[in-house]
Structure 1
């Protein structure tokens, strides 16, 4: 089975986008999905199959359907298939069903924040060398109870600063990992999904 997962990783790397921020094509023309976040995870097997299996293994279907008190509206910083498969190889798991339920639950809750937080709601920020939290941005407490710092920044365009597209970057207080957000503002009935970059490995947040 581990050989199969390895083969999947190779295939993902061959066919994944090679842009600077590994933009994830959600297939949504206007960023709006008619359905719950749980329904959305069913809609794109290429990116979300393993994520959906984690949700179901953890028993968090109600959370992703907007049925949990305090999380009727939420924001999900979503790890995609490649991020999960890479972590499984590192941890020597052959299948999602081999992962303890509590581990699945804890991992997913670290990616969930109560309320709606769109890309343009996140303040501009700037990293400071050697520090986990830089200037500006915002500190979020996730549903697991740990914190991370997130900030937005506008990229250059044709070497002109601050006129290009706006991106989000996350720094975990626990792992100190710097995490790129590949796609933002996928709107569902019960909140927003921001897809994490393919280079992200589950557990870094």
Structure 2
């Protein structure tokens, strides 16, 4: 437990975020030559705990595009810091201590069938006190849970609708709004949208 706490503090100190909450995927053009499973292997800084969860859950085939009905997937991916924070809250010292069924649920809640690019998500607007606001799109995860995703385009030099485009996710179960930090990481069998470091696993 103490080791995980130290790691979490160090990651918090060195994972500085820009104004736009961008997570560096390490890809110059957003394209990774390989499966999503290969991509998780390629960036240990962000994805090694995610990869261990996938493997503990026995979901390697899903992330390799080998599961019927999920040959192409979109993964709203929780990164290492999100997973470590949840482990500390739950009292786990290592991913091997987490029940396989729990690992499976946690991962499947972040997966939807098909490829959904950032620009495929309609613009939306939150409504105070409501889980689902205006516009956007409702997704059903591979676990059967639902969440609402909407896009928002910021201004640039006070000019509307020309700035960067962001994605926001709201869980129907927890009513938590989650920022997407990096979008449209393309792999051979799908696309990854990296969730913000401030996200805690289990909120989706």
TM-score range, shorter-chain basis?
over 0.9
Post-superposition Cα deviations, 1:117-139, rounded to whole Å, max 9, x if no partner, equal 00000000000001000000000
Q: Does 1:175 align with 2:174?
A: yes
Post-superposition Cα deviations, 1:123-170, rounded to whole Å, max 9, x if no partner, equal 000000010000000000000001000000001223433321000000
Q: Does 1:197 align with 2:196?
A: yes
Query: How many residues are paired up?
Result: 204
Q: What aligned pairs does 1:46-195 form with structure 2 within 5 A after superposition?
A: 46-195=45-194
Instruction: Give RMSD over aligned pairs.
Output: 0.8
TM-score by length of 1: 0.97
Structure 1 ranges of 4+ moved more than 6 A = none
**Is contact 2:17-2:23 (8 Å) kept?**
no
Secondary structure (helix, strand or coil) at the match of 1:49 reads: helix
Secondary structure (helix, strand or coil) at the match of 2:69 reads: coil
Secondary structure (helix, strand or coil) at the match of 2:50 reads: helix
**Is contact 2:4-2:88 (8 Å) kept?**
yes
TM-score by length of 2: 0.98
| Distance in 1, Cα, partners of 2:73 & 2:39 | 14
| Distance in 1, Cα, partners of 2:143 & 2:22 | 27
Q: CA deviation at 1:19?
A: 1.8
Secondary structure (helix, strand or coil) at the match of 1:34 reads: coil
- Segments of 5+ residues of structure 1 without an aligned counterpart are none
| Distance in 2, Cα, partners of 1:52 & 1:116 | 20
| Distance in 2, Cα, partners of 1:159 & 1:200 | 29
| Distance in 1, Cα, partners of 2:96 & 2:103 | 10
**Is contact 1:119-1:152 (8 Å) kept?**
yes
